[in-house]
Amino acid sequence: MNPTCRNLCLNMKFLRANWNVCKVQDFIAINRCFKCLGYHHKAADCQNGLCCFKCAGEHKSSECNLSTQVCVNCIRFNKKTRDPNKKVNVNHKPYSSCCKCHQFMEKLVTSQTNYE
């Protein structure tokens, strides 16, 4: 889509098609791994260990008995961060819209995208 058309659609916020109303927003493609749940690679190329989507343990999510979910990316971030004021909440699913790591990746990909 050309930049002028994209901007017009984004400014409208919604598009009507027949009897449907569709929200308009940019599609942000983030390269992520569904083996280790990290970013910048896919499972086929992953050299890291398996990570559970629910508890961040080293097993398949289908084998996990826990009902609460934690974000392994935020856990990893907190381990690297020395400043206690910069630690983030880990009580959410990886890739959740409330995940600070995922929000950072969205901003990074958006900043590297040429919209012209």
How many angstroms separate the CA atoms of 51 and 41, rounded?
Answer: 15
Beta-bridge partners for 39: 32
Using the structure block, give the residue that is written with the tokens 């097993």: 59
Query: Which residues, including other chains, have CB under 8 Å from residue 23's CB and lie 6 or more apart?
Result: 13, 14
Whole-number pLDDT of residue 64: 92
Whole-number pLDDT of residue 37: 95
Whole-number pLDDT of residue 76: 95
How many angstroms separate the CA atoms of 85 and 73, rounded?
Answer: 17
3-state secondary structure of 17: strand
3-state secondary structure of 23: strand
Q: Model pTM?
A: 0.78
How many angstroms separate the CA atoms of 37 and 52, rounded?
Answer: 8
Whole-number pLDDT of residue 9: 86
Using the structure block, give the residue that is written with the tokens 């109303």: 21
Whole-number pLDDT of residue 17: 87
Whole-number pLDDT of residue 1: 79
Neighbouring CB atoms inside 10 A of 10's CB total 12
Whole-number pLDDT of residue 74: 97
How many angstroms separate the CA atoms of 89 and 82, rounded?
Answer: 15
Whole-number pLDDT of residue 5: 87
Low-confidence ranges of the chain (pLDDT < 70): none
